Structure 1
Amino acid sequence: MGSRRGQSVQSSALNPNSLQKPRTIITTHLNADFDAVASALAAKRLHPNAVICLPGSQEKDIRDFLEAHPKIRDEFTPLRSVDISHCRELIVVDTCQRERIGKFAELLEREGVKVILYDHHPAESDDIKAHQKFYKEVGANSSIMVGLLREKGIGISPEEATLFALGIYEDTGSFQFSSTTPEDLSEAAWLLRTGADLKEIYRLMARRFTPKHITLLNDLMNTAQKMVIRGIPICIAKTSHPEYVEDFSIVVHELMDMERMPVLFVLALLDDQVIVIGRSRESQVNCGEILKELGGGGHGAAASATLKNITLTEAEEKLVQELYKVLGAEPRVSDIMSTPVLHVPPNASIGEAHDALTRYGITVLAVLDGDRCVGLISRRTVEKAIYHGLKDLPVSEYMTTEFKVVSPNDPFSKVQDIIIHDRQRFVPVVEDERCVGVITRTDLLQILTEDKLRKTEPLFEGKEKYRYVNSLLRERLPLWLYDRFKEFGTIGDELGMGVYVVGGFVRDLLLREDNFDVDIVVEGDGVKFAQILKERYGAKISPHEKFKTAQVVFKDGFRLDVATARLEYYEYPAAMPTVSISSLKLDLYRRDFTINTLAIKLNSKEFGLLIDFFGGQRDLKDKCIRVLHSLSFVEDPTRVFRAVRFEQRFGFQIGKHTLRLIKNARRLNIFDKLTGKRLFTELKLILDDRDPEAALLRLKDLDLLEVIHKDLKLTEVVLDRIRAAKGVLSWYELLFKPQKPRQWLLFLLNLVSEFSSRSIKGLCQRLDLTGKNEVLFTKLREEAIKVASILDRESDVRPSKVYRLLRPLPLEHQLFCMCLGKTHVPKKEISRFITEYQDIRPHLKGNDLKSLGIPPGPIYSEILEKLRDARLDGEVETRDDEIDFVQRRWKFSGDPQRL
């Protein structure tokens, strides 16, 4: 019988419809490994009347072993075949943590259930409370179990000996982990004497790699970074794969063994969950303790955790914070707080608070009643109060009284959570109800950008450390742009600033897509950098001091945006960002998706260096759209529309976690807070992209069209018109006309072609369409619909009438009429208007009419219009025909020979 992924291989042992009702159950931790499975079988030998029931699935190697040994396999009963309500004795092996035993944790709360533990992990305060516990400090739990079997003289078969030996070999890293003890070696030796099959052990421990494993191993080697904490070198490597990969832990074993790393932590985004695996040969680094806080477990040498609803970047940050905390290297609040506390008393006036804020050049003041912090007052609040004539009122009337505080002994990570996630920019430090210091957002940024401990370096010194894309730049860019990038780097060198081209330009360069929309990020002062460009090249700049950005327009028309490396804070969901100076990494962290976090350095010594902090290259390779953090769409809902646009443009897929976040954002209705202008901008970008139909269908699938307007539906009629618009645009492009239609406008007109006047009014209000934009969708749209209707009704319409109907409409509305046409007549006549009719003019001009003796005046317009209509309808052709036409209809005294 073949095994199946995600199932317990022993599922065939019993008929699932006949539930067993055991009084004694043996279980172990989720994702059971060889050590756990072997320990469970040994416990069965110690407690013959018990039933083994594992709480979850096992890795493929274990399933294969059990399938190959049916006698052992049949000792295990599937969870669905057991009624645990009758259990009176629970035996847990290879773990003491309640959160790791799945459904069986509920038995721990039930009266009358005796609990027995067999475990080799060091005791923790929140361990399962047991009536009886067997503990020994050994490398593998199987060593404890085998020792007990030997003491009691319980015989085992060679098959069982092989399984028990596999448990020991696995959890001691084939006796190479520092946690290995003499007892592990002694028990393994006894098992070999008892008949354990060393060839089978070697085969399973060697574990042949699949192509997926090789790809992941290569990825881990490329991303491996070494950081030193308290003198201990620790390696962190990351990878991802769109599907779950069986036996991923073997890749971790191989990586550690290849480079003889003392400590390794691997983070892998597999399917929609982040797997964290830790391995340690250093006694000071306890993997189990570190990963316990991430919801995982294990022992000092080997541990793992599974994180759901989190991005790879967030998981890495959690791991790093936990490393600092456990190893005692994370700064305490007392190390970074500012003191003495600048403050005002509660009875101080608003005006006095303003004086203090101005004097000290700060944005927030603590309000202290004695030594106790009773509130916070910000410059913004003070200035608003003064504007409204309230400067004499006490600050107690307007201070904020809801705020979080920290103590001097709290870790740095707690402050970081309050400032970034809770958006509290000023944090009082309180000890024994006394305010002894403060930490501000500026303090946090300084630590994040200057913390030398957190700087990493590539692990593999013997391999290529960095990837340079100089040759790709030279291949893909026009020479003038390549040379200009070199010049930007030289200017950066002169100013002592790091200069980078970032974002979509880099993404498209790696995808071999043309994109000359250039964003430059400067580690220093972006506005100053732009000023230098202005001086040297005569460029025009438009600086934005608040955001530390500038738009630069060169004499040849080339445009670029320059920004200072910055970190953005969103004051509330869907708000515009508040900006602070930061490092390049933090600047890239604020961006929307991993594929847009890539940067290329332009400074001379490292020109062409590709920088990838967040796995953007990996996601480009996997064709996946992923956000960097879970609040991404809450902070900026427009990112949802960009996710859809990028997904459809590149043929990528939105990652499962990112997709879940999109659906959550829709459920929370955070789009209601988006301004119409921001929503309109994103909609225009989607409709201007290569295939708006695919993006619109995706928006429909995600229930996002109603975010734009409740009446927006992709009916078959609307879809037919969208497709017609694609065809019309392709036809028009082949005419090579100088005037280019606004693609977004044509698609949007078709998208709302079934809207009533009331719905159109609501759309204009939602998208903040005013002035000319509003006219496009009201008056001109109605005129276009009327014209299409007229042309549909008249099978033989005169060209002059077609001209008069279409001439007042913008090009996009003319093309819109073609999409609306129900018969061939509108398409034929409008195409003739665009290719022929609109360029036809009379031979005679105003001066000619004057020479014919017609007095100047409004009559000229009437005559010329009639002449044009006559030419369109074939009534006149030559200049003489026109003169004769005028002679017959208007009297004049002039001599035609003079013309």
Structure 2
Amino acid sequence: MDVITTHVNADFDCLGAMVAAKRLYPDALMVFSGSQEKSMRDFFLKSPSYVPPFTRLKDVDFEQITRLILVDCQHSSRVGRFAEVAGRPGVEVHIYDHHPGASGDIRPSGGEIRDCGASTSILAKILRERGTEVTPVEATLMMLGIYEDTGNLTFPSTTTDDYAAASWLLERGANLNVVADFVTQELTAQQVSLLNDLIKSLQTVCVNGVDVAIAHAALEYYVGDIAVLAHMMRDMENLEALFVVVAMGDRVYLVARSRIPEVDVGAILREMGGGGHATAAAATVRGETVIQVVERLQRLLPERVNPKRTAADLMSSPVMTMPVGTTLAEAREYLTRYNVNAMPVMDGERMTGIISRRIVEKALYHGLGDLPASEYMHTEYLCAEPSTPIAALQEYIVVQHRRLVPVFEKERLVGVITRTDLLRYMYAGLQRTAEAVYDLARDNLPVRRREVLHLMNKSLPARVVSLLRDLGRVGDELELPVYAVGGFVRDLLLGNENDDIDVSVEGDGILFAETFAARMGYRVKSHEKFGTAVIVFPDGFKVDVASTRLEYYATPGALPTVERSSLKMDLYRRDFTINTLAIRLSGADFGMLFDYFGAYRDLQEKSIRVLHNLSFVEDPTRVFRAIRFEQRLGFQISRHTENLVKNAVKMGFLDKLGGKRLLNELVAIMKEREPVRAILRMSGLGLLRFIHPEIVLQAENLRVLDEVKKVTTWFDLLYLAETVEVWVVYFLALTTAISDDSFWGACTRLSVSEHYRERLIEMRIHGEQVLEVMERKVARGEDVRPSDIYFWLRGLTTEVLLYIMAKTRRDEVRKFVSLFVTRLRGVTTSITGDDLKRLGLPAGPRYREILDRILTARLNGEAASRDDELRIASGEIAAV
């Protein structure tokens, strides 16, 4: 039995999400786990025609529940009696919630949890994508949920998905008059009185340089919709962060709102048993007075409110510089190589000025490229310290139109702050560009930080979490910032298993790896040239460690030149935004997620995006990786990124790609779970011609490729103690329509080793010949004995055997190969050449002929024992 439920004290978003979930799970019962908000109870009384068919809690047979669908909740303490069901072995739990940061203790086996203004919007999007229709009544109930939790689509937590869901529901007949009547109601006399008390008690405290407002009140009766009052107060008083604390009966209710990144109200109220977004959250406390709750909140704020940022928080380090003797022509190369618009000029350890791209370009226009850059650099500039407040930088950069501020510790240059760094801070969260069409290093996306420690504890094995903490502790000892990066972080957020842990160290990664290995008694392999190392555990488990670095490419398709750099630039060199996330392992920020390039957003939108427009020019292999990630994750290459792929194809950049690198990417694609979809995508983008011009996907190729999936799955299910190179089978299928000479050319293009190339072409030719013989025999209706099958197929590799099974259209031929693989190829004779020698057979080629004759008898069931074989051998020898 399926049951749809939500948290106690349900609101309109709970109602709308439950109604939407009913469309996804049509046989499920809708049951409230507890009471409902007063506004929703009033709605049911005044609009009985809108009341959906709910089942009473007391009528539910809890023992019969096999699947529990939770909406707008992840915590067992908020679902009443259903908490026991959620923890029962064998019960599926599907959760649909718009609080991905909630510290819920219920681990879902299905559903969807992601940032959104309302849980209803998540379910509405699923219904829309599946083409599931809803009635006007259902659309109205769902619209109520969205409007309530997004403040009529005005709250900062509102997303494009909420707007899209509202539009879709309106098209399906949602009644906005009904929505307006119950979402935008006038305040009651009790609410007005409470609002007055809250305004009188309002106090602002400065916490870590951030103004936080707290208002409190105590009532003997219950007043609903405190969240509405909190929003009104925030807007009336123009508050950046507000906590409202109201005691009613034996409970104290907290509602919090924040407009600034320094105050994550969701994280703060999670510490008090509640939860929510960074911008909106709530909690309920029992057994304490309103004064006690306020005091506990005030003690918690200094620990959870992030300080206002200083220059140290914004600056990039280490600093890329150029020497004082650099010419203007060379200066342009420096600026282009490091993708910056301004750079300090150094005389040894002393900074002498700043040269900007604008000055360099103008000087080159006037033919001054051979002159020293120091002749035209800025020699007057603001010298900031790490403790310099951001406000002191704003006028210099914005009003005086300066591009760069150097940061010094005494006279040593330790960092720089660019105009983009400042704008990103000033406008964090205000700009949400759906499709970046320029370098993300210059994009004003906010540097977002999210605490994902709860997700790590919930999703990762205890051993892995302990390992990450150990890595962080060694980083603290060495005073080196340490981060988990790349695919491990991406898959953690997506809920996918990934045991490949990559660690980046801001500093000496090899020193870190060697120190960690020495502490733990593990082995380490270091690569000085690239600043990387591999920590090898006793059980073979490995952790890859790298110093944060940047890469630049001398020519398109060339291998990169590597230099030490900051975390941000290290992440910027990666292939796609979704692989640029980092989790801090060292320091007090263990479990903090760093997102410089909008990766979290792209994970939500299921989008594959490059970081800059020359990405495929510098490394064309990324074209194939884009397709691989797209198909593996079920994502979509973004429109702009796909245009860049098409441009790389049109410009022929993939022709410059080394064969070995191209082969590695193809092997990786063909090892994926669903390689055919990726091959189809490659074909659609015109990539197959870079393997060989004659490779074109046609009906026959596609048929054979589809069959490869079936036969390799069949082989896996045999559980034989044998490994097979599945990619070879797919490669043979992909090239099935081209000639042997063209196949040789494709292998040559891919730099397949000469020995393996010769072996592969030999097997391909032999396999095709055998296939032709078997199909001809079947077509003629001739009898085929097991021994015929054995001698036809003997000597072919498993990969070629599977290719034959995939290529043939005849079931009889597939049965022949299946019989060979599962039984015939393991058949052997009991007697050997020594037995023939004892029987008096003189040395010569007759040994092989007689042994094959005996093997033929074995295969065809004409010899069942050693005596039978000796009898046959004696007869053959006597006939000589």
TM-score by length of 1: 0.52
Q: 1:495 matched to which residue of 2?
A: 478
Q: 2:387 matched to which residue of 1?
A: none
* 1:869 correspondence with 2:856: yes
Amino acid in structure 1 at the alignment position of 2:826: D
* 1:554 correspondence with 2:537: yes
Q: 1:754 matched to which residue of 2?
A: 737
1:665 to 636, 640, 648: 648
2:622 to 639, 653, 656: 639
For residue 732 of structure 1, give the secondary structure of its aligned residue in structure 2. helix
* 1:693 correspondence with 2:676: yes
Does the CA-based 8 Å contact 1:406-1:427 persist in structure 2? no
Alignment of 1:349-498 (within 5 A): 412=356, 414=358, 428-431=372-375, 451=417, 454=421, 466-498=449-481
Amino acid in structure 2 at the alignment position of 1:749: L
Q: 2:585 matched to which residue of 1?
A: 602
Q: Deviations over 1:125-154 (max 9, x none)?
A: xxxxxxxxxxxxxxxxxxxxxxxxxxxxxx
Q: 2:501 matched to which residue of 1?
A: 518
Alignment of 1:102-121 (within 5 A): none
1-structure distance, mates of 2:659, 2:630? 23
2:788 to 801, 824, 834: 801
* 1:648 correspondence with 2:635: no
Does the CA-based 8 Å contact 1:458-1:465 persist in structure 2? no
Q: Deviations over 1:157-195 (max 9, x none)?
A: xxxxxxxxxxxxxxxxxxxxxxxxxxxxxxxxxxxxxxx
Deviation at 1:213, TM superposition (A): 8.0
Q: 1:825 matched to which residue of 2?
A: 812
Does the CA-based 8 Å contact 2:659-2:750 persist in structure 1? yes
What is the identity percentage for the equivalent residue pairs of Structure 1 and Structure 2? 40
Does the CA-based 8 Å contact 2:787-2:859 persist in structure 1? yes
Q: Deviations over 1:567-603 (max 9, x none)?
A: 1111121121111111111111111111111112222
Does the CA-based 8 Å contact 1:788-1:818 persist in structure 2? no
Q: Deviations over 1:465-491 (max 9, x none)?
A: 953333433443344333322222222
2-structure distance, mates of 1:810, 1:417? 62
Does the CA-based 8 Å contact 2:481-2:587 persist in structure 1? no
For residue 756 of structure 2, give the secondary structure of its aligned residue in structure 1. helix
* 1:771 correspondence with 2:714: no
Amino acid in structure 2 at the alignment position of 1:887: S
Alignment of 1:285-304 (within 5 A): none
Q: Deviations over 1:363-382 (max 9, x none)?
A: xxx58xxxxx898999xxxx
TM-score by length of 2: 0.53
1-structure distance, mates of 2:521, 2:836? 51
Q: 1:886 matched to which residue of 2?
A: 873
2-structure distance, mates of 1:518, 1:699? 29
Q: 1:215 matched to which residue of 2?
A: 158
Return closer, same or farther for 1:260/1:781 CA change in 2, 3 Å cut-off.
Answer: farther
Return closer, same or farther for 1:377/1:853 CA change in 2, 3 Å cut-off.
Answer: farther
Q: CA RMSD in A?
A: 4.8
* 1:580 correspondence with 2:580: no
1-structure distance, mates of 2:586, 2:635? 32
Does the CA-based 8 Å contact 2:507-2:547 persist in structure 1? yes
1-structure distance, mates of 2:756, 2:371? 46
Bigger shift: residues 549-558 or 469-478: 469-478
Amino acid in structure 2 at the alignment position of 1:766: R
Does the CA-based 8 Å contact 1:760-1:777 persist in structure 2? no
Bigger shift: residues 405-414 or 817-826: 405-414
2-structure distance, mates of 1:406, 1:491? 33
Does the CA-based 8 Å contact 2:621-2:665 persist in structure 1? yes
Return closer, same or farther for 1:817/1:214 CA change in 2, 3 Å cut-off.
Answer: same
1:813 to 795, 800, 804: 800
Deviation at 1:543, TM superposition (A): 2.4
2-structure distance, mates of 1:528, 1:732? 46
Does the CA-based 8 Å contact 1:687-1:743 persist in structure 2? yes
Return closer, same or farther for 1:218/1:876 CA change in 2, 3 Å cut-off.
Answer: closer
Does the CA-based 8 Å contact 1:568-1:579 persist in structure 2? yes
Q: Deviations over 1:412-450 (max 9, x none)?
A: 4658999xxxxxx999415379999xxxxxx99997955
Amino acid in structure 2 at the alignment position of 1:470: L
Q: 2:707 matched to which residue of 1?
A: 724
* 1:563 correspondence with 2:563: no
Q: Deviations over 1:506-535 (max 9, x none)?
A: 111211112212211111112222323443
Return closer, same or farther for 1:209/1:412 CA change in 2, 3 Å cut-off.
Answer: farther
Does the CA-based 8 Å contact 1:217-1:255 persist in structure 2? no
2-structure distance, mates of 1:686, 1:254? 54
2-structure distance, mates of 1:405, 1:582? 15
Alignment of 1:43-62 (within 5 A): none
Return closer, same or farther for 1:816/1:376 CA change in 2, 3 Å cut-off.
Answer: same
Q: 1:528 matched to which residue of 2?
A: 511
Amino acid in structure 2 at the alignment position of 1:830: V
Return closer, same or farther for 1:460/1:575 CA change in 2, 3 Å cut-off.
Answer: closer
Deviation at 1:858, TM superposition (A): 7.1
2-structure distance, mates of 1:710, 1:741? 28
For residue 787 of structure 2, give the secondary structure of its aligned residue in structure 1. helix
Q: 1:623 matched to which residue of 2?
A: 606
Amino acid in structure 1 at the alignment position of 2:471: F
1:838 to 816, 825, 832: 825
Amino acid in structure 2 at the alignment position of 1:588: L
Count the aligned residue pairs: 527
For residue 689 of structure 1, give the secondary structure of its aligned residue in structure 2. coil
* 1:735 correspondence with 2:718: yes
Amino acid in structure 2 at the alignment position of 1:873: N
2-structure distance, mates of 1:638, 1:255? 54
Structure 2 residue runs without a partner (length 5+): 1-149, 164-208, 212-230, 241-258, 260-313, 334-341, 346-351, 363-368, 381-405, 430-446
Amino acid in structure 2 at the alignment position of 1:806: L
For residue 555 of structure 1, give the secondary structure of its aligned residue in structure 2. coil
Alignment of 1:338-349 (within 5 A): 341=324
Q: Deviations over 1:600-646 (max 9, x none)?
A: 22226333222222121111111111111111111111111111111
2-structure distance, mates of 1:603, 1:213? 31
Return closer, same or farther for 1:336/1:741 CA change in 2, 3 Å cut-off.
Answer: closer
Structure 1 residue runs without a partner (length 5+): 1-206, 221-230, 234-252, 263-278, 280-329, 343-365, 368-372, 379-403, 419-424, 437-442, 893-899
1-structure distance, mates of 2:468, 2:810? 54
2-structure distance, mates of 1:259, 1:599? 37
Q: 1:8 matched to which residue of 2?
A: none
Q: Deviations over 1:57-90 (max 9, x none)?
A: xxxxxxxxxxxxxxxxxxxxxxxxxxxxxxxxxx
Deviation at 1:890, TM superposition (A): 2.6
Deviation at 1:754, TM superposition (A): 0.9
Q: 2:54 matched to which residue of 1?
A: none
Give the structure with higher Rg (CA). Answer: 1
Deviation at 1:652, TM superposition (A): 1.1
For residue 733 of structure 2, give the secondary structure of its aligned residue in structure 1. helix
